[in-house]
Amino acid sequence: MVSLKVNGTTHSVDVDDDTPLLWAIRDNIGLTGTKFGCGVAQCGACTVYVDGQPVRSCVTPVSAVGDSEITTIEAITGKEAEAVQAAWTARDVPQCGYCQSGQVMSAVALLKENKKPTDRDIDLAMNGNLCRCATYVRIRAAIHDAARALEI
Amino acid sequence: MRSGLLLSAAAGFGLCLAGSALTLAQAPPTAASLRPVESFGTIANQRDRSVALFAEMGKVIQHPRCMNCHPATERPRQTDARRLHQPLVVRGKDGHGAPAMACTTCHGKQNYDPARIPGDGHWALAPASMAWEGKSLAQICEQLKDQNRNGSRDLAGLVKHVTTDTLVLWGWKPGAGREPAPGTPEQFGALMQAWADTGAACPAS
């Protein structure tokens, strides 16, 4: 059994130590907002926070997490998350939506660290999050929108 | 308009040529082992012996496991073929990546072989002052000794760095799908100590 603190609740999950955190989150704990995309840290769909920092949960074994606080898309809070959610809605960013929880996790993480990101900052932060619908232009615009909203 | 396109095409072709020249110049060495320090005892001249010891160290220094994260640009390389790191990542302010794309976004404290992701407690790019990519072994040698560029390390500090830093030692335990650096960390440390003890001479070119 492995103990995992996810979104403020401690869960005991019956998995091997080398099980990807993503599998425990989705299959054992039942939080399916975090998506499986590639399994090799190339697409970003599985992004969660470990102690507030974005991490690809598909390449993170549960044994590496320890007592860290895991936050998934279901539980992100704060002004950056609210600004990103509002900007995403206003711009109608998602198309199929599959990658978007990962996109949002990275966008919020960026805005927490960088209040006024340039196009370059956004590209560097977001290029690990692939979107097969190619919503990149709207994603970048929405991040700029969210940054402006946070200035007010 | 047309001449602009031609110019772009020519520039692109030039870049391609430069790219392939770079690749050829930096083809990874294939040595799997290191000569023991004792085998250099037959070189009577101390300076020559020191240079020979450094050339042997070069098998490690210029191996993909080491060179990939001492890039000339802000972007590391990866794999034994030394291709550009996918996805795009950069050195960032402190060698640990850009905001929201830090090394730790993907690289954990240990290798994770099921996904072929390497890891270490302080996964990072070497600072720009320690860029080795595209340099000759002679240039790397001078750079390695230059305390303005090597993290203010004297020779003892360099030996300590390569024998105790976990990220350096990772080069010999790189996980599935990656060729380890030649020899053992102990052999490499002994070579570097012997090089330091013989005056830390650098190759002429």
Q: Mutate which of A60, A84, A108 to disrupt the B interface (most B C-beta within 10 Å)?
A: A60
Q: Which residues of chain B are under the pLDDT cut of 50?
A: 1-29
Report the alpha-carbon distance of residue B78 to residue B28 in Å, rounded.
12
Sketch out chain A's domains with CATH numbers: 2-75 (3.10.20.30), 79-151 (1.10.150.120)
Which residue shows structure tokens 């191996």?
A: B63
Domain ranges of chain B: 1-30, 32-197
pTM for this prediction: 0.89
Q: A112-131, pLDDT tens digit by residue?
A: 999 999 999 999 999 999 99
Q: What is the pLDDT of residue B32?
A: 84
Report the alpha-carbon distance of residue A98 to residue A107 in Å, rounded.
15
Angle, CA of B157, B158 and B164, to the nearest 5°: 85
Question: For residue A128, which residues of chain B lie inside 8 Å, CB to CB?
Answer: 87-89, 101, 105-106
Return the higher-pLDDT residue of B15 and A65: A65
Q: What is the pLDDT of residue B2?
A: 43
Inter-chain CB proximity A124 and B106 less than 8 Å: no
Q: B7-53, pLDDT tens digit by residue?
A: 444 444 444 333 344 444 444 445 789 999 999 999 999 999 999 99
At position A46, the amino acid (one-letter code) is: C
Residue A42 C-alpha from the chain's centroid:
14
Inter-chain CB proximity B115 and A58 less than 8 Å: yes
Q: What is the pLDDT of residue B189?
A: 98
Of chain B, the end-to-end C-alpha distance in Å amounts to 46
Q: What is the chain A residue with the closest CA to B87?
A: A128
Question: For residue B102, which residues of chain A lie inside 8 Å, CB to CB?
Answer: 53-54
Task: Quote the tokens at residue B34.
Answer: 């290191």
Shortest alpha-carbon distance between residue A131 and chain B (Å): 13
